[in-house]
Each structure stands twice: as C-alpha cells, then as structure tokens.
Amino acid sequence: MQRYFTLSAVLALLATPALASSEPFFSVHNPHTVELVSFLLFVGVLIYLKVPGVLGGLLDKRAETIRGELDEAKALREEAQGIMASYERKQKDVAEQTERIIKYARDEAATAAEEAKEDLAQAIARRLKAADEQIASAEKAAVRAVRDRAIAISVAAAGDVIAGHMTAAQSGTLIDAAIGEVQAKLH
C-alpha cells in the first residue's frame, strides 16, 4: 500500500499542470505548489495515522465476512437441495402409494362386482327353482283336485247307475261283501 502512495506522489510532482504556472514552481505564490504541499501533507497524515492499513484491514474484514456469508449461503443451498430431494422422494413415494391404493381399490371393486353378480345369479336361480316348485306343487294339487272330482263324479254316476239297475237283495250282498273285506283289511 505504501508503494502505491509513493508512486502517486512522484507522479503528482511530474504532472504538467504544476509546471504550467508563470510563477516559479517552488514559490508560495504559486497556487499549484500550495496545492501540492497540502496534498502531500494530507497523504502524510493519512500514512502516519495508518489509515491505509486500517482501511485495508476493514476491507479484508469485510471480504472475510462476505466470504463467510457466501460459504454459509452455499451450505444453506446444499441443505435446501437435500431437503428438496428428500421431499421429491417422499412425493414420489406418496404418488406410488396412491397408485397402489387406487389399483387395490379398483381390484376390490371388480371383485365385489363379480361376487355381487354371482350372488344375484344364485338368488335368481333360487327364486326360479322356488317358483318352479310352487308351479309343480300347484299343478299336482290341480291334477289331484281334478282326479278327486272326477272320481267323485264317477262314483256318483256309478252309484246312480247301480242304484237304478240293482235290486235290494243284490245291494245287501254287496254290502255284506264290503264289510267282510274291510274287516279282513283291518285285522
């Protein structure tokens, strides 16, 4: 730093505007000489008070602070990227789990629908079988009723025909034979 200020002072002495005055250069009446001396005194006071070193130290301290902040920001960025990657993995896992749940639910719904179809088909078959049995039973009852009625009509008709053609002696013989047959079957 000190070289820099020394070089600045030498260059200021060699400056052509300082030599452009009509007065001799090293004269108190020459304003350029007064300015040069004032500037050199100012620079000397700054150097004596170690202002360049203090400024350099402040700048170095500031540079270290900025470097520390950059390192901290880089660490925070890496941490944020790690957290983001973690959340992306979690999101992917949740998406996969969601798809598995949806697939499972669809499979369960399809299975339930198939079971419901089978249950419905079995219920319909049971009801059709019950209806067929009721129809067959009603048919048998109707045939039995018609047969019973036909028998009753036939017996009545036969009774009328026999009563018209039979005598009292014949009817007594038939009654005795029927009583004998009933007694034989009962004992």
Does some domain include residue 105?
no
């999101």: which residue's tokens? 91
Of 39, 44, 10, whose CA–CA distance to 31 is shortest?
39
Distance CA 19, CA 13 (A): 9
pLDDT of residue 7: 67
Apex CA 182: angle with CA 178 and CA 184, to 5°? 115
Model-wide pTM > 0.75: no
pLDDT one-digit tens code per residue, 99-152: 999 999 999 999 999 999 999 999 999 999 999 999 999 999 998 988 888 888
Question: Has residue 37 been placed in a domain?
Answer: yes
List the domain range (segments joined by +) for residue 36: 1-49
Which band of pLDDT confidence, cut at 50, 70 and 90, is reported for residue 180? confident
Going from the C-alpha of 35 to that of each of 19, 31, 40, the distances in angstroms are 13, 6, 9
**In the prediction, which pLDDT does 179 show?**
85
Residue 138, in any domain of the structure: no
Residue 43 belongs to a domain: yes
- Quick one: average pLDDT of 25-48? 81
pLDDT at 20: 55
Q: What's the number of domains the chain is made of?
A: 1
**pLDDT, mean over the chain:** 85
Q: What distance in Å separates the CA atoms of residue 37 and residue 12, rounded to the nearest whole number?
A: 11
Q: What is the pLDDT of residues 37-50, one digit of tens each?
A: 899 999 889 889 88
Whether residue 181 lies inside any domain: the answer is no
